Amino acid sequence: MTWRELQGWAGTVLGSAGIETPVVDARLLAEHVAGTHLALAPTPTAEQAEAYRSLVFRRARRIPLQHLTGVMYFRNLELPAEPGVFIVRPETEIVAGEAIEAALRMGPNPLVVDLCTGSGAIAMAVADEVPGARVVAVELDDRAIVSARRNAEPYGVEVRHGDARTACDDLLGRVDVVVSNPPYVPPSTVTAEAMVDPQIALWGGGDDGLEIPFALVDRAAVLLKPGGVLIMEHDEHQGPALVERAQSLGMTARTGVDLAGRPRFLHAM
């Protein structure tokens, strides 16, 4: 069979399994096995075809694509995807982009704090795209912080081990941008792929998942200097409550949307 024929079969299998992007996933798995763009790949060997089918069946069982390829792509970055460390999703690239734009508007050498950094993806994207920025990342989970420190070291990000709700006492009132993709998932909203992620990175607390996000809005309010900006990802139903929380602390707040037009992040200052 050709790669084209294998991809067609894989798309059907993945679509029947309820994968949201079966055609894209089929192509990415094929390129992973081929080791190159398919336009440049020779006809698959029998061993490659067998390996590809195995990956497709594993993806159909809802094993995250990133765990099958071992790679997470995030803006300009290529990061290792490791079991036990939260997988960054495409919508978080929008959140990182908002934080980057906010930091760029702050002038030279902005101070940016990434709360609940996980793999360090947002912090590294900021360091990569904002020249001269000082970036501090905070993570509580023991396994994730090992990954974050290894990933972020080449970018000059300072990674701190601690609770984001009480972090960075030395930076109170000095931060230009606080950014976060915190645990915010309500117990009633979870996908099969998300259940592979570490549970500490998922559940926001309470019936609505807002306990940790509320605490981070409170923390950001004391970390930010006058005119500083908070960008925080949230569930599509949590926007109004988070805007109200920020406004109760004297901040101006609004909800931003992702590429699908869904409410996705809090912008507060």
> How far is 27 from 132, CA to CA, in rounded Å?
38
The token duo for 41 is 């790949």
- Note the pLDDT tens digit of each residue in 94-104: 999 999 999 99
* pLDDT at position 263: 94
- Note the pLDDT tens digit of each residue in 112-126: 999 999 889 999 999
194 contact partners, CB below 8 Å, separation of at least 6: 185, 202
The token duo for 239 is 């926007």
- Note the pLDDT tens digit of each residue in 53-84: 999 999 998 888 888 888 888 898 888 777 66
The DSSP string of 71-129 is EEEETTEEEE--TTSPPPPHHHHHHHHHHHHHHHHT-SS-EEEEES-TTTHHHHHHHHH
Residue with tokens 């976060």: 180
Largest Cα span, the chain: 64
> How far is 99 from 82, CA to CA, in rounded Å?
25
> How far is 54 from 59, CA to CA, in rounded Å?
9
Cβ atoms 264, 232 nearer than 8 A: no
Which of 29-33, 181-185, 204-208 is the least confident region? Answer: 204-208
Query: Is it the case that residue 258 has pLDDT exceeding 60?
Result: yes
SS3 21: coil
Cβ atoms 74, 88 nearer than 8 A: yes
Query: Is it the case that residue 21 has pLDDT exceeding 90?
Result: no
Which of 87, 86, 33 minimizes the C-alpha distance to 55? 33
- Note the pLDDT tens digit of each residue in 194-209: 555 555 555 566 677 8
pTM confidence score = 0.80
* pLDDT at position 64: 84
